[in-house]
Amino acid sequence: MVRPLWDDDVPTLARLNDAAVPAVNALGTAGLRDHLPRCRLALVVDAGRGPEALLLALGPGADYASENYSWFSRERPGSLYVDRVVVAQRLRRLGVGRSLYAQVAAHAAEHGFEEVTCEVNLEPPNPDSLAFHRSLGFRTVGRQETKGGTVRVALMAVPTEHLARLGRPDRRRQG
């Protein structure tokens, strides 16, 4: 179900991404293609009907002009930054986001990232994303206004080890 992003996925994922504005910024097909080389992780969920979820993450030192990525580069250097998570409406609340973050946690642990970071919009509000990230253990480590003060975000982080535990079976329940 979770797999790497393929080049043929880009037009479909660009439409999915752009339909999620203002929770994420619009990229269009060309913008998504231009952004992918910066990404350390580019994952999709394909439940048999083509890609219906997307997660992009960047490591330190990427050439990315995002105000939020710049904040994390300064304040939380060495973190794995999740730039965006977009899940088709029909797949929400089915564990798709958790599956994507399990892959992020595995990658972060394998490559020595001590924490995973992201931002979630506070204004315009994105309460579902905020609740989802908190359920994964993300905590607010800062706030900032971006896009000339039109967007306010919660800057969030979770220790990789905590996030990785979410994908492991609880041995106490097995017997």
**Mean pLDDT on 139-144:** 98
Q: What is the pLDDT of residues 15-39, one digit of tens each?
A: 999 999 988 989 999 999 999 999 9
Mean pLDDT, residues 51-55 taken together: 96
Residue 172 is predicted with a pLDDT of 43
Average pLDDT of the segment spanning 99-128 = 96
Q: What is the pTM of this model?
A: 0.92
Report residue 112's pLDDT band, with 50, 70 and 90 as the boundaries.
Answer: very high
* Tokens read off for 69: 């990525």
